[in-house]
Amino acid sequence: MADNYVKSMLGENEVILLVARQHRFVLFSAIVAEIVVTLIVIVAIAALAVANPLAGFGFLLALIPLAIMLRDILLWRSRQYIVTNRRVIQVSGVFNKSVVDSSLEKVNDVKMTQSFFGRLFGYGDIQILTASELGVNLFKRIGDPVKFKTAMLNAKEELGFNDEGGPTHHEDIPGQIKELDVLRKKGILTEEEFQRKKKELLAKM
């Protein structure tokens, strides 16, 4: 679920379709060392405390790997990959936020890569090729990449752009507005009907 920070960036009529994060394996690989170090410190201090009660203060040392582990968890949780009905957004950072987004209409191609274990456990890389200056966006080891790719392509299709980035015939919004204008000028549509339908079409852009 997207947080309030992400929701504050949404435009008018923009809707979040999917929120993804890196696979939990990424988090586990980041914190496993901290868990091991914490356990070693606790066992060592407990053994020393038997002979010297003052050694019990050494348990404070366990707070160091715990604090690092908390940081890794917050970093993992703050990194989000979001598909809306208009763009793809990558958000990272706990306090200092970094946001990179790609308009769906500028997406030229989407490449998904999954290793054997990626297919087995449900993670993979998504590479987005765009016509913007950034060129390529790489989302590494995200959970359920197939679902992410499908949601993005479906959103792009709803916008009216085909796989090559051109407008599809049934969603050529400017063309449809021109056709409605012709009908208005011929008296087939009233001004009120034209404005209402025009507003509905513009809302889809």
Tens-digit pLDDT profile for residues 29-47: 888 888 888 888 888 877 7
Tell whether 27 is covered by a domain: no
Q: Do residues 53 and 89 both lie within one domain?
A: no
Q: Structurally, how many domains does the chain consist of?
A: 3
- Residue 73: other Cβ atoms inside 10 A: 14
**For 81-95, what is the mean pLDDT?**
89
pLDDT band of 136, cuts 50, 70, 90? low
pLDDT average, residue stretch 184-205: 77
State residue 1's pLDDT score.
52
Confidence class of residue 162 from pLDDT cuts 50, 70 and 90?
Answer: very low
Asked, for residue 28, whether it belongs to a domain, the answer is no
Classified as helix, coil or strand, 94 is coil
Shared domain check, 84 and 137: yes
Answer yes or no: is pLDDT of 150 > 60. yes
Instruction: Residue 49: give the domain boundaries.
Output: 33-73
Torsion angle, CA of 195/201/203/205, rounded to 10 degrees? Answer: -140
- pLDDT tens for residues 44-61? 877 777 777 666 666 777
Do strands 16-20 and 98-103 pair parallel, antiparallel, or not at all (unpaired)?
unpaired
Instruction: Tell whether 135 and 61 lie within a shared domain.
Output: no
Lowest mean pLDDT among 47-51, 66-70, 198-202: 47-51
